[in-house]
Structure 1
């Protein structure tokens, strides 16, 4: 295929937000490498499904290698895969820490490092988008989640650092900080409580997240931005 087709890598792509992001990038005309621990092959020849745990060493590089082998290049990485465990700080276990930092931090680090190397070698820019949480900006005693803030706060800071470091090479870095999004992981009996956590009085939809990510994809003058798609959570309560 022609290497002029833009190529995106999306992690956590088998369901929910990630699956919708794959569809969104396809509508933009991108080829997509879709990753999650278990993911089915796509009937779309422009979507390459690559199974693997992004929190394990080497998987990030494998995704970039697969993108280059199949589609010839990498233009965008969407670090969507993430683990969120809400519990009192002293109840977190070492296994919780390893799981959360493995996916949220190592996964971001290894995939983004490999992708930026490839973008630099291509010489025509690129984009890194990372999914974060508004709990970094506004902690909530009703949702104790210090490990999310530890990892996602670091990703926000790294996003700004990468934006500045690579601006002169045309590689942008942005993040989308989410409120609570209506997905199957939230059972219906929790919806009233979760909706009340947002100033607007309701949860977000998956389409809201996709709109935010695709805005950043097409906003070529925007880099180093932490875009809040959170129903006003980051502004206060």
Structure 2
């Protein structure tokens, strides 16, 4: 991945920040995105304001943000080799309390953001005769939890899982690989935003009896970015969450 160009959405905190750091350290050219300008600037500076990185502030639910990411990648680094659709939002709410604006919010950011950004990069990947797209889903799509009502975000994430498979089919002959990473419970600011004070208390959801670290998602993303014979797959990085539970 040295000198390859990687676009990462939602790169200012948590998993996205860890993925950006992982690729930057290994010599990739990274274009980081977030809708939060202050957080994105702080992250860029915290990473050492590296010459092999740039950032673009913008809401990925708007198609123009994807176009700006493409323009920045090509202007600064001349190629687009990998897209990591990490940006997303997630919070629980009982099904009977979900309103139209809740569905709109999750579908706009999670699904439309992934959809529009992917639309923006694929023409360049076709021109380059190859590329890799990595979507971030969740193990909860295939492994629901009674005590965690989250139909609104989960339906949007489930759509991303389906989108992955269809894009893999449509663009496989163009040598564009499309896969999903489905994380389990990962240590990140997300837990605090959902009101979970002690993320480690959820360790029992995983057979390894611990929660995951953001760097472990970054490792999986790097693997999929470099793989030439994996497409249309959902890779669970979840410590055995979908297999069983530790009690």
Q: Given the two structures, how large is their TM-score scaled by the length of structure 2?
A: 0.89
Q: What does residue 200 of structure 1 align with?
A: 208
Q: Quick one: distance in 1 between partners of 2:52 and 2:199?
A: 36
Provide the secondary structure at the position in 1 that maps to 2:181: strand
Residue 212 of structure 1 corresponds to 220
Q: Partner of 1:153 in structure 2?
A: 158
User: Where do 1:124-163 residues align within 5 Å?
Assistant: 125-163=130-168
Asked if 2 retains the 8 angstrom alpha-carbon contact of 1:20 and 1:207, the reply is yes
Query: Could you say which residue in structure 1 is the equivalent of 2:21?
Result: 23
Tell me, in whole angstroms, the C-alpha distance in 2 between the residues paired with 1:189 and 1:66.
Answer: 38
| Residues in 2 aligned to 1:213 and 1:180: alpha-carbon distance in whole angstroms | 16
Length, aligned pairs only:
233
CA contact (8 A) 1:138 1:236 kept: no
Residue 121 of structure 2 is matched in structure 1 by 115
39-48 or 155-164: which moved more? 39-48
Q: 1:44: which partner in 2?
A: 50
Distance 1:14 1:177 in 2: 20
Partner of 2:108: 102
For residue 36 of structure 1, report the CA deviation from its aligned partner.
0.2
Superposed CA offset, 1:111-144 (max 9, x none):
1011011111222x00000111000111111111
The Cα of 1:176 is off from its aligned counterpart by 0.4
Within the candidate set 151, 166, 171, 2:171 is matched to 166
User: Runs in 1 of length 4+ with deviation above 6 angstroms?
Assistant: none
Per-residue Cα deviation, 1:167-223 (whole angstroms, up to 9, x for no partner): 111110011001110123335743354222223222111111111111111221111
What secondary structure does 2:132 align onto?
strand
- TM-score calculated relative to the size of structure 1: 0.92
Q: Partners in 2 of 1:118 and 1:234 — Cα distance?
A: 36
Mapped partners of 1:113, 1:89: distance in 2: 31
Partner of 2:6: 8
Unaligned runs of 5+ in 2: none
> Which SS does the other structure have where 2:68 is aligned?
helix
